Amino acid sequence: MAYMGTMLRVNLTAGTIKRENTPLDLAKKYVGGRGLATRMLTNEIDPTVDPLSPENKLIFATGPLTNTNAPTGGRYMVVTKGPLTGGIASSNSGGEWGAFLKKAGYDMIIFEGKSPKPVYLSVMGDDVQIKDAAHVWGKRVPETTDILIEESGEKKAKVSCIGPAGENLVYFAAIMNEKHRAAGRTGVGAVMGSKNLKAVVVHGDKKSPIPDQDAFREIVRGKITKIKENGITGEGLPKLGTKVLDNIINENGMYPSRNFQDVMYDGTSHMSGEALIEKGYLKRNSGCYMCPIACARDVELPNGRRGEGPEYETGWAFGPMLGFHDLNVICDANFLCNDLGLDTISAGVTLACAMEMYEKGFIKKEELELGPELTFGTSEALPFYLKKMAYREGIGDKMAQGSFRMATEYGCPEFSMTCKKQELPAYDPRGVQGMGMSYATGNRGGDHVRSYLISPEILGAPEKLDPQAIEGKMKWLFIFQNLTAVIDSSGLCLFTSFALGLDDYRDMINAATGFDLTSEEWMEVGERIWNMERNFNLLAGIGPETDTLPKRFFTEPANRGPNKGKLHRLPEMLPEYYQIRGWNADGTMPKQKLEALGL
């Protein structure tokens, strides 16, 4: 089996490290990564626990395909109870860190308790130690990474760490690995900070034990061919990265700007993926562990600053959402967030909310303490308030709680573009009905990668659906949510799904694990994971009333473009979704459903 068979349990309060057997009896039901880690978390913590208390746990987990030569087989997932939504939090990341955790010999690490002082965990194969981190506490991500690699004595060691945002418990702090890769969403970095855990350094050279290496290699070869021959994964993404979407989404009339007050942005062509190339900023593309797609961007700006990014969502959150399109400002802000350890989507959307609140008189000028005007189009505001958020200074302290808590405090929660208190990504629901339902029903809050219905509704993969149609959409949502849970749990990148289908994932996971599950059985695994997450949220107090969208999408019609006049039609779709899920009409989950799924 492609599992290492061993996991680490680190009690930060007591300073103890235990090696335990990975619960492989659960693997067939929950795969690994997101699924298995969520099972462990929900078994071990009270759903009502304070996310930033020692009673919460933080799990870094790999999947069976992590550290194999399966395409994109390098991902890991961080699972915990999150401070932003108050529910299940999980965020995954690429790069090489996940593969190196398994090379060190471990499938996952469970952190418990809270260290009395800043520490980091060093996992150098069999040598695992909790080490003092006083000298890196307060330092940004790149410097922390360099210092800890130097200390490890192993140049190829990989570092996953938090920056000042995580230390300061910003509710949308990210965990960063290899400086530029982010487990960005849901505030997992704040939980790490609450435990006084600065970093996890990993290195090793072990291979994942695959039952029949030759058969696995042959299967993988076929999947890589499919990815390379697919127009999206073989051409579009490698050439232009995710920012190829800027013009696609804008031309489709669903590229939100100025805090979703407008459904399009006129300056898109100036900051698009194409512009990044035409202006000569893009130096090269690169890929994560075993990735045949290589969509990462290495960018150098005219001011000499160099770094990775921006991705589509980041470019949008730091540009059109704030009413400007200066690529220099956007890229620099992306680099700054990577350094500080901030989720770019939540940071940008929170700032957009603050701008609308300021323009409409809810935030007063004196609260800015002589800082830049919080008006749309003021690019100077972006780096200024990002630092304020990360260090919780001035009004940044309010922003650090996310837009929902900030806007609620001022009496205007309707300006918070969030679902379950997590900020929305870059697709206007009024232009794409299924994706809007994906936001509304997402277990980790407003999010695009837990069921990326943009793929069929806009991109036409695997087949083209009308973005304004609602008939049949909830079945697609059900399938995408379940399949994505399996992909996330396997250790692969979701981008493979532009080219691969359920049977492809079945082939690879079965070959790596020795399981013999059918495609239908794998989909049931995905359904089980989805229901488990939902059940945790319900027990945590996040009820069905949160399966909704910001009021704006029901009351303010799309102002222009092909979707002009459209609203989101959630009330027509939600009952069907509950029905397809086998839940009660009020969105609660019948005991029989949970039992049928073995929960």
Partner 1 sequence: MTVKFFATLKLKLRVASVSVEASPATTVGQALRDAERALGSEFWLEIFDEAGTARVGAMVLLDGVNIAHLQGVDTPVGTAEALSIFPPAGGG
Q: Considering the complex, what minimum distance in angstroms separates the CB of residue 64 from partner 1?
A: 24
| Nearer Cβ to partner 1 (107/308) | 308
Q: Considering the complex, what minimum distance in angstroms separates the CB of residue 184 from partner 1?
A: 13
Does 274 bind partner 1 (CB under 8 A)? Our answer is yes
Q: Which amino acid is at 453?
A: L
- Tell me the pairing of strands 282-286 and 119-124: unpaired
The torsion angle over the Cα atoms of residues 254, 451, 230 and 235, rounded to 10 degrees, is 50
The candidate with the shortest Cα–Cα distance to 154, out of 125, 182, 119, is 125
| Nearer Cβ to partner 1 (252/338) | 252
For residues 370 and 428, give the distance between their C-alpha atoms in angstroms, rounded to a whole number. Answer: 33
For residues 47 and 276, give the distance between their C-alpha atoms in angstroms, rounded to a whole number. Answer: 44
Residues sharing a CB contact under 8 Å with residue 5, sequence separation 6 or more, in sequence order = 21, 22, 24, 107
Binders of partner 1 among residues 540 to 579 (CB under 8 A) are 561-563
Q: Considering the complex, what minimum distance in angstroms separates the CB of residue 314 from partner 1?
A: 12
DSSP state of 528: H
Does 461 bind partner 1 (CB under 8 A)? Our answer is yes
Q: Distance of CA 511 to CAs 80, 105, 219, Å?
A: 29, 20, 8
Q: Considering the complex, what minimum distance in angstroms separates the CB of residue 241 from partner 1?
A: 7
Binders of partner 1 among residues 471 to 530 (CB under 8 A) are 494-495, 498
Q: By CB under 8 A, name the one of 44, 50, 235, 266 that touches partner 1.
A: 235
| Nearer Cβ to partner 1 (62/230) | 230
Q: By CB under 8 A, name the one of 236, 307, 434, 587 that touches partner 1.
A: 236
Q: By CB under 8 A, name the one of 59, 245, 336, 474 that touches partner 1.
A: 245
Does 312 bind partner 1 (CB under 8 A)? Our answer is yes
Alpha-carbon radius of gyration of the chain:
22
Q: By CB under 8 A, name the one of 444, 448, 552, 566 that touches partner 1.
A: 448
Does 265 bind partner 1 (CB under 8 A)? Our answer is no
- Tell me the pairing of strands 418-419 and 422-423: antiparallel
DSSP state of 566: -
The candidate with the shortest Cα–Cα distance to 111, out of 34, 204, 8, is 8
For residues 547 and 439, give the distance between their C-alpha atoms in angstroms, rounded to a whole number. Answer: 8
Does 178 bind partner 1 (CB under 8 A)? Our answer is no
Stretch that binds partner 1, among 78-86, 359-367, 384-392, 452-460 (CB under 8 A): 452-460
Does 266 bind partner 1 (CB under 8 A)? Our answer is no
Q: What are the structure tokens assigned to 437, written together? A: 């339902």
Q: Considering the complex, what minimum distance in angstroms separates the CB of residue 504 from partner 1?
A: 15
- Interaction mask 394-433, partner 1, x per CB under 8 A: ----------------------------------------
Does 42 bind partner 1 (CB under 8 A)? Our answer is no
Sign of CA dihedral 168, 169, 172, 174: positive
Residues sharing a CB contact under 8 Å with residue 507, sequence separation 6 or more, in sequence order = 219, 223
Q: By CB under 8 A, name the one of 6, 11, 225, 247 that touches partner 1.
A: 247
Peptide bond between residue 116 and the one before it cis (omega within 30 degrees of 0): no
Q: Considering the complex, what minimum distance in angstroms separates the CB of residue 183 from partner 1?
A: 16
| Nearer Cβ to partner 1 (66/250) | 250
Across 289-381, the runs of DSSP E, i.e. the strands, are: 296-300, 306-308
Does 1 bind partner 1 (CB under 8 A)? Our answer is no
Q: Distance of CA 180 to CAs 91, 145, 246, 335, 531, Å?
A: 15, 11, 21, 8, 32
Q: By CB under 8 A, name the one of 15, 116, 222, 462 that touches partner 1.
A: 462
Q: Which amino acid is at 201?
A: V
- The count of chain residues that interact with partner 1, using the rule CB under 8 A, is 46
Q: By CB under 8 A, name the one of 84, 449, 502, 589 that touches partner 1.
A: 449
Q: Considering the complex, what minimum distance in angstroms separates the CB of residue 454 from partner 1?
A: 7
| Nearer Cβ to partner 1 (268/546) | 268
- Interaction mask 185-214, partner 1, x per CB under 8 A: ------------------------------
The candidate with the shortest Cα–Cα distance to 169, out of 200, 192, 136, 186, is 192
Which run of H or of E encompasses 265? none
Q: By CB under 8 A, name the one of 278, 369, 572, 586 that touches partner 1.
A: 278
Stretch that binds partner 1, among 32-40, 240-248, 332-340, 519-527 (CB under 8 A): 240-248
Q: Considering the complex, what minimum distance in angstroms separates the CB of residue 576 from partner 1?
A: 21
| Nearer Cβ to partner 1 (282/333) | 282
The candidate with the shortest Cα–Cα distance to 466, out of 429, 439, 431, is 431
The candidate with the shortest Cα–Cα distance to 120, out of 241, 212, 49, 15, is 15
Does 295 bind partner 1 (CB under 8 A)? Our answer is yes
Length of the chain in residues, anyone?
A: 599
- Tell me the pairing of strands 119-124 and 197-203: parallel
The CA-based diameter of the chain, rounded to the nearest angstrom, is 68
Q: By CB under 8 A, name the one of 162, 210, 237, 327 that touches partner 1.
A: 237
Query: Using CB under 8 A as the criterion, which residues of the chain lie in contact with partner 1 when the complex forms?
Result: 230-233, 235-237, 239-245, 247-248, 251-253, 269, 273-274, 277-278, 295, 311-313, 448-449, 452, 454-455, 458-462, 464, 466, 494-495, 498, 561-563
